[in-house]
Amino acid sequence: MFLLSKLFWVFAQPLSIAFLLSALTAILVFAGWRKLGGLAAFLTTLVLFVTLFTTAGTVALQVLEDRFPKPAQEPQALSCMIVLGGVLENEVTTARGGIEFNQAADRFVEALRLARNHPEARIVISGGDGSISGAYEGEAQASERFFSAFGIAIDRLVKENASRTTYENTLNTAGLLKAQGLDNCLLITSAFHMPRSIALFRAAGIKVTPWPVDYRTSGIVRPSLDFTQPALNAQLTTTAAREWMSLMAYYLTGRIDSFFPG
């Protein structure tokens, strides 16, 4: 299932769909089916236009981010926090050492801030190597270098270094929480990723408090044309498409009980 999901996403993201449609256009035209080729060319243009020159992807991502607002006040007492992986550039970190963050770095930064404010809290880091090859250092293992560099005692970390997907995050973390006697943790992950994460933790019977970070949208975007930032529009559309597809896939396979939990 893991490999299948990885391969599916290679072809299901918007720009890949546009490429496949353009290849289909060429095949149809060379085969003499010009009307079908014209239709495929139109669909290619439509996908590219929506992806590059509208706010459709931004709005779709914004809907996900707004589903679970961050609580207005920080908890007075905090026993534990769960930090989901997806923060590090595993390939670069493995090859060069150190800590190399991607755009989701806020997950670790916020966990560090909370850990300094709540010295009694345990930090559950859930995330292994999510690559197809499985050849890189897991995020939970690398996290030890990050938190210790800022004075966080290593014995406060609970590392789950085997999971490759959000589904595996949940399954593996459930066992760790039980073994450590931890409950009612904050769940720290990217805001757009929170609906799927909460749905999985609920399905596993784990009570958590959503603590979203890593917002990619302003929260005030409306559907419109946008010719100013096609590369960013494509990136946001890709992120939104992947998350919505994942929600649908998890719901259809029975891994979550609600397509869009609230």
pLDDT for 144-175, tens place per residue?
999 999 999 999 999 988 888 999 999 999 88
Provide the domain count of the chain.
2
Q: 57-61, 84-88, 109-113: which range is least confident on average?
A: 84-88
Query: What is this structure's pTM?
Result: 0.92
Query: In which band, very low, low, confident or very high, does the pLDDT at 2 lie, cut at 50, 70 and 90?
Result: low
The shares of helix, strand and coil residues in the chain, as percent rounded to the nearest 5, are 55, 10, 35
Q: 11 and 124 in one domain? A: no
Q: How far is CA 224 from CA 49, 50, 131, 159, 219, in A?
A: 12, 10, 35, 43, 14
Closest CA to 260 of 202, 218, 219: 202
Q: 194 and 113 in one domain? A: yes
pLDDT digit string (tens) for 206-259?
999 999 999 999 999 999 999 999 999 999 999 999 999 999 999 999 999 999
Q: Counting beta carbons within 10 angstroms of the beta carbon of residue 216, is it exposed (0 to 12), middle (13 to 18) or buried (19 or more)?
A: buried
Q: 96 and 208 in one domain? A: yes
Q: 247 and 151 in one domain? A: no
Which domain covers residue 201, as residue numbers?
80-213
Q: 34 and 153 in one domain? A: no
The whole-number pLDDT of residue 122 equals: 97
SS3 209: strand
Alpha helices, DSSP H, located in 194-229: 194-203
Q: 127 and 208 in one domain? A: yes
* Predicted confidence (pLDDT) at residue 52 exceeds the cutoff of 90: yes
- Residue 18 contacts residue 51 (beta carbons within 8 Å): yes
**Mean pLDDT estimate for the chain:** 93
CATH number of the domain encompassing residue 84? 3.40.50.620
pLDDT, average across residues 69-76? 90
The whole-number pLDDT of residue 51 equals: 98
Query: In which band, very low, low, confident or very high, does the pLDDT at 137 lie, cut at 50, 70 and 90?
Result: confident
pLDDT, average across residues 82-88? 93
pLDDT digit string (tens) for 89-136?
988 888 888 889 999 999 999 999 999 999 999 999 998 877 776 778
* Predicted confidence (pLDDT) at residue 16 exceeds the cutoff of 90: yes
Contacts of 111 (CB under 8 A, 6+ apart): 81, 83, 123, 147, 188
The whole-number pLDDT of residue 1 equals: 67
Q: 192 and 89 in one domain? A: yes
d(CA 78, CA 121): 6
SS3 119: coil
Beta bridge partners of 213: 190
Domain membership of residue 111 (yes or no) is yes
Q: 197 and 125 in one domain? A: yes
